[in-house]
Structure 1
Amino acid sequence: MNWKTCLLSVALGALSVFAFAPFEIYILAFLTIAGLVHLTRSATVKASAILGFSFGMGLYLGGVSWVYVSLSTYGGMPLWMGAIAVIGFAALLAVFTGLSTLIASWAARRFQCNFLLLFPFSWVVGEWCRSWVLTGFPWLDFGYTQVPAFLFSWAPIGGIYLVSFLTIALAVLLFHGINARSYRSPIAAAMVLLVSILISGVEWTEKDGKLITVGVVQANISIDEKWLETMRKQALDQYQSLTAELTTVDLVVWPETAIPYYANQTDERFWKAMVPKDVSVLAGILDHDGKNSYNSAVLNCAGNRAENQLYRKRHLVPFGEYQPLQFLFSWVFEYLSLPMSDFAKWEGLQPIQCGDSIRVGLSICYEDAFANEYRSHLGEANVLVNISEDAWFGDSLAPHQRKQFAQMRARELGRPMVRSANSGPSLFIDHHGQLLHSTPQFEVAIASRDVQPMTGHTPYMIIGNWIVWLALLVIFTPVGFGLLRKGR
């Protein structure tokens, strides 16, 4: 291995960014992974790990470059510090792609296993580890590249990681078919695609009652202005006037932190003034229990103005919403004075509903990126809702990548998803994960659609990440046998 090979691996990773939204050239996912397999298959264990890490650096430097926008534009971080932060963050994420190639290469050589067979399993283990280590960052999992393609139909069966596994497996088959000139690989790939088509029309869940009409309000209020004392009334007036145009809806959804007050600062009179009669509203708001502050949302049901149902965010954004490792980074927090960086997280189920017809499975901001957490906290919800403040990301790739998260969650759980974002895009997605409507970014907009609530359980809801446990079994069974031989 030389520096040119590493550079090629970086280029393959960077090219993979175009397989994700907003570009969605999903075929690139197969080609770039096949290229990585070609580079790592015959390399030493150490070289394989370095090449996997290099691939990850290209992928994440390009794919999560929007982190710089959040840190520099809104966090006040200078250019040099922002560049170091982005490179360091990309390197941290790239460790997990390096771990994937290392595991496949090491197990193949140590226990005489088939590298090509192990590679898809090791890749899934790497993605899964990235979803929980240091609170997790499950961004740019390769399964998301297949949202516009046939492999998307496997999401209700095994979730994002099964789609990732099949994506990597088809890339391996592509490599093997070309490298070994084998007819078996194209046949196997064709069978996977055929089954994908056959199951694409399966209804895993069923209709739950009649259609409800849901509206979203996209106020496009500047982050620099929304928390100013002088702007609060203007912001609320804007939400009130926009909502007044949605009089025929059952539920209207406002984005994250739409209301610039604490929940206990609102009362029945406030909600009667803000929301049309007979309309329920779900809105982002802050909450304080006397000790901790929470990034929250309230559901105020029509006909019950005096009572709000509260949801407090469970999975916080490191550095953005809480301060991890303060003994190391306290000087950074003091230097930047980051706003909204001292929230507490909430534990446990938080069902919110209006009667029996509107049962909301809510997520705030990037909580919808954590598939297993969403599945575990869904309860009896029949409609998924995500509220977000995507203005933090500016005009970057992040809001478009998050669209694919929302589509994947809808398909995994067999429920429609409504997404309201302050700066857009706000989305309506059906229970098959298909995008029905999207508002333009950085514009004031309202939209409404008829939404069909769904009930029942997809296989993924029942079994969860079974493909991950299978991958761990496949990978560590050879290790177990190896240890047994050594003991004897």
Structure 2
Amino acid sequence: MLLLHGWRRLILAFAAGGLASFSQAPFDFFAVCLISFPVLVWLLDGAAADSGSGRMQRFAAPFVTGWWFGFGYFAGGLWWVGNAMLTDFERYAWALPIAVLVLPAILAVFYGVAAALARPFWADGLGRIAALAAAFGIAEWLRAMLFTGFPWNAVGYAVMPTPMLMQSAGIVGMTGMNALAVFVFALPALLAGNKHVRTGMALAAFLVVLHAGFGFVRLSLPAEGDATLQTRIVQPSIDQSEKWNAAVRDRIFRTFLDLSAEQDTQEAIRPALILWPETSVPFILQDRPDALSAIGELVRDDQVLLAGAVRIEGENAADPEARFYNSVVAINSAGVMYDAVDKVHLVPLGEFVPLEAVLSRLGITKLVELPGGFSRGGSRHAIDVSDGVSAVPYICYEVIFPGIAVHESRDAALIVNVTNDGWFGYSPGPYQHLRQAQLRAVEAGRPLVRAANNGLSAVIDSRGRLVDALALDAVGTLDVAVPLAPADSLRTSFAGTTGWAIVLAFTLLAALLQWRQKSLRE
């Protein structure tokens, strides 16, 4: 592979990245990364050898190689985003290439940056593996932060396909998991040489045993308390093409009411919390007092409804000064919205258009048709849902942001995630979304309840285990006594700091081995 040049090197990098995408949910073939990342290392060996003496030339070849690897990875893992454009193909056909090609191309820049960042520390043996691991840890962090962030399918998820293998995230965070995952995945590249082979294999074995062993021990510990919250999750599987159809909106609303109605009168199983998915109410609630009255008739005195809904600030939807929010609203038995939390992380082109004045002239509009799009929420807070129990809500893809719930859920007993994955059809998207929600529960040490329009609705305990779930496209309700016990003390609120310490350690190791190699040559 050192001898590959030009398009052959780039095609192989693309193929290696595409293969690595099968490490993500729902496939979970993490072993493919033990092939993909060594191939990337060997291709970067060749790119480093081809680098010129100029400063830009030294970084260009590694960047391009890393970019093609990333393009294959994101094209293979995110092709399903294009399904959102098929719900109204005539109107949004223009966006299909953006979803399946432009988005992966943009995200691939971060993997190109990772390869370029590793270049100054590139040397024979273990040092280049450590450099690449540190660089990927930094690049994945940047992907979660820059330009509103889109940390979907971070490479670290590949080593966390089951709850037992998720527990390390509570200690080292996603930054640490991303770096450690790349380090272990890339170590087989040492087998093609004669330096640090035994050391590298021993390190790989040690990290894998430590990772799995910690998870086993943590899941073996008893829960801290036995408090529960009886919860009913509603999954209606409303067809996306009907979601905002004015002719059927009353029927959709009635579907939610019927599914939410009491199905058993026994006090022991009456839900204290009823949860509806994202934008479940197909109209502006403030404009429909009859709808609020109907909800008031549904909700008992000892119950609360949390519903995804469009919230308006202004006189009505026709008000040109009105502001719209994608929100979670809390409604009591009096039919009163007593609290609301607005979405903070909006989806570019889905809920708002960056540089809208310019892009609208090119015919580029948002997928959610509201005047001016959604406005960004100012802050997030927990909502009281029962006596002594509060829940912090996250809307749609907000739950993919690493560490987001660690501090925001500190005073809450429960994390709530409402979403509408109906945009993506029967594809890997909903499974990947659920997997990332599981990790947020592990990071925060709090249980998570998830209502999705067409699935996958689920209840997740504080250690990332699925308590119960509804299948994709199923119609029905999920009645579960949600265990409110927090995770045990084998976790830390400083996981982010620990993760950066791992990145720093890999950087120092790479620098030390490079310095030693130069000293021996001299």
Residues in 2 aligned to 1:51 and 1:294: alpha-carbon distance in whole angstroms: 41
1:326 is aligned to 2:356: yes
1:414 is aligned to 2:445: yes
Q: 2:419 aligns with which of 353, 367, 388?
A: 388
Residues in 1 aligned to 2:227 and 2:355: alpha-carbon distance in whole angstroms: 49
TM-aligned CA deviation for residue 78 of structure 1: 5.8
TM-aligned CA deviation for residue 389 of structure 1: 0.8
Question: What's the % identity of the aligned pairs?
Answer: 27
Q: Which residue is 2:54 aligned to?
A: none
CA displacement, residues 436-476 of structure 1 (integer Å, 9 cap, x when unaligned): 32312223121122211134777443453542365368659
CA separation of 1:348/1:32 partners in 2, compared to 1, >3 Å: closer, same or farther?
same
CA displacement, residues 119-178 of structure 1 (integer Å, 9 cap, x when unaligned): 111011111111111111101101112222554221111222222222111113232245
Q: Which residue is 1:426 aligned to?
A: 457
CA separation of 1:458/1:385 partners in 2, compared to 1, >3 Å: closer, same or farther?
farther
Q: Which residue is 2:53 aligned to?
A: none
Decide which moves more: 309-318 or 344-353. Answer: 344-353
Q: 1:183 aligns with which of 195, 198, 208?
A: 198
- Indicate conservation of the 8 Å contact 1:177/1:185, yes or no: no
TM-aligned CA deviation for residue 287 of structure 1: 0.7
1:117 is aligned to 2:130: yes
1:289 is aligned to 2:351: no
Residues in 1 aligned to 2:119 and 2:80: alpha-carbon distance in whole angstroms: 32
Decide which moves more: 353-362 or 125-134. Answer: 353-362
Q: Which residue is 2:56 aligned to?
A: none
1:202 is aligned to 2:218: yes
TM-aligned CA deviation for residue 197 of structure 1: 3.0
- Indicate conservation of the 8 Å contact 2:403/2:440, yes or no: no
1:298 is aligned to 2:314: no
The one-letter code sitting in structure 1 at the alignment partner of 2:138 is V
- Indicate conservation of the 8 Å contact 1:205/1:454, yes or no: no
Q: Secondary structure at the match of 2:105?
A: helix
Q: Which residue is 1:87 aligned to?
A: 101
- Indicate conservation of the 8 Å contact 1:151/1:166, yes or no: no
Q: 2:242 aligns with which of 225, 233, 243?
A: 225
- Indicate conservation of the 8 Å contact 1:151/1:163, yes or no: no
TM-aligned CA deviation for residue 189 of structure 1: 1.7
Aligned residue pairs, count:
479
The one-letter code sitting in structure 2 at the alignment partner of 1:215 is R
CA separation of 1:449/1:259 partners in 2, compared to 1, >3 Å: closer, same or farther?
same
Q: 2:184 aligns with which of 167, 170, 173?
A: 170
Q: Secondary structure at the match of 1:387?
A: strand
TM-aligned CA deviation for residue 349 of structure 1: 3.2
- Indicate conservation of the 8 Å contact 1:159/1:460, yes or no: no
Q: TM-score normalised to the size of structure 2? A: 0.84
Decide which moves more: 142-151 or 61-70. Answer: 142-151
Residues in 2 aligned to 1:178 and 1:436: alpha-carbon distance in whole angstroms: 45
Q: 1:250 aligns with which of 264, 272, 293?
A: 272
Q: 1:192 aligns with which of 204, 207, 230?
A: 207
CA displacement, residues 180-199 of structure 1 (integer Å, 9 cap, x when unaligned): 37222222222112222332
Residues in 1 aligned to 2:165 and 2:256: alpha-carbon distance in whole angstroms: 40
- In structure 1, list runs of 5 or more residues that go unmatched: 483-488
Residues in 2 aligned to 1:364 and 1:239: alpha-carbon distance in whole angstroms: 19
TM-aligned CA deviation for residue 80 of structure 1: 6.3
- Indicate conservation of the 8 Å contact 1:284/1:387, yes or no: yes
CA separation of 1:414/1:59 partners in 2, compared to 1, >3 Å: closer, same or farther?
same
Structure showing greater radius of gyration is: 2
1:399 is aligned to 2:399: no
CA separation of 1:467/1:189 partners in 2, compared to 1, >3 Å: closer, same or farther?
same
Q: Which residue is 1:7 aligned to?
A: 11
CA separation of 1:460/1:91 partners in 2, compared to 1, >3 Å: closer, same or farther?
farther
1:133 is aligned to 2:146: yes
1:102 is aligned to 2:113: no
Task: Show the 5 A alignment for 1:342-353.
Answer: 342-353=373-384
Q: Secondary structure at the match of 1:43?
A: helix
CA separation of 1:72/1:350 partners in 2, compared to 1, >3 Å: closer, same or farther?
same
Residues in 2 aligned to 1:62 and 1:464: alpha-carbon distance in whole angstroms: 29
TM-aligned CA deviation for residue 351 of structure 1: 1.6
TM-aligned CA deviation for residue 246 of structure 1: 4.8
The one-letter code sitting in structure 2 at the alignment partner of 1:19 is S
Task: Show the 5 A alignment for 1:468-483.
Answer: 468=500, 471=503, 475=507
Q: Which residue is 1:461 aligned to?
A: 493
TM-aligned CA deviation for residue 271 of structure 1: 2.4
TM-aligned CA deviation for residue 284 of structure 1: 0.6
Residues in 2 aligned to 1:103 and 1:427: alpha-carbon distance in whole angstroms: 39
Q: Secondary structure at the match of 2:161?
A: coil
Q: Which residue is 2:34 aligned to?
A: 30
Residues in 1 aligned to 2:409 and 2:337: alpha-carbon distance in whole angstroms: 22
- Indicate conservation of the 8 Å contact 1:205/1:414, yes or no: no
- In structure 2, list runs of 5 or more residues that go unmatched: 49-58, 265-269, 315-321, 516-522
Residues in 2 aligned to 1:38 and 1:102: alpha-carbon distance in whole angstroms: 15
Residues in 2 aligned to 1:461 and 1:74: alpha-carbon distance in whole angstroms: 44
Q: Which residue is 1:50 aligned to?
A: 64
Q: Which residue is 1:153 aligned to?
A: 167
The one-letter code sitting in structure 2 at the alignment partner of 1:249 is P
Q: Which residue is 1:485 aligned to?
A: none
CA displacement, residues 386-416 of structure 1 (integer Å, 9 cap, x when unaligned): 1001111122221111011111111111122
Q: Secondary structure at the match of 2:116?
A: helix
Q: Which residue is 2:233 aligned to?
A: 216
TM-aligned CA deviation for residue 241 of structure 1: 1.1
Decide which moves more: 56-65 or 222-231. Answer: 222-231
CA separation of 1:356/1:336 partners in 2, compared to 1, >3 Å: closer, same or farther?
closer
Q: Which residue is 1:40 aligned to?
A: 44
Q: Which residue is 2:519 aligned to?
A: none
CA separation of 1:349/1:403 partners in 2, compared to 1, >3 Å: closer, same or farther?
closer
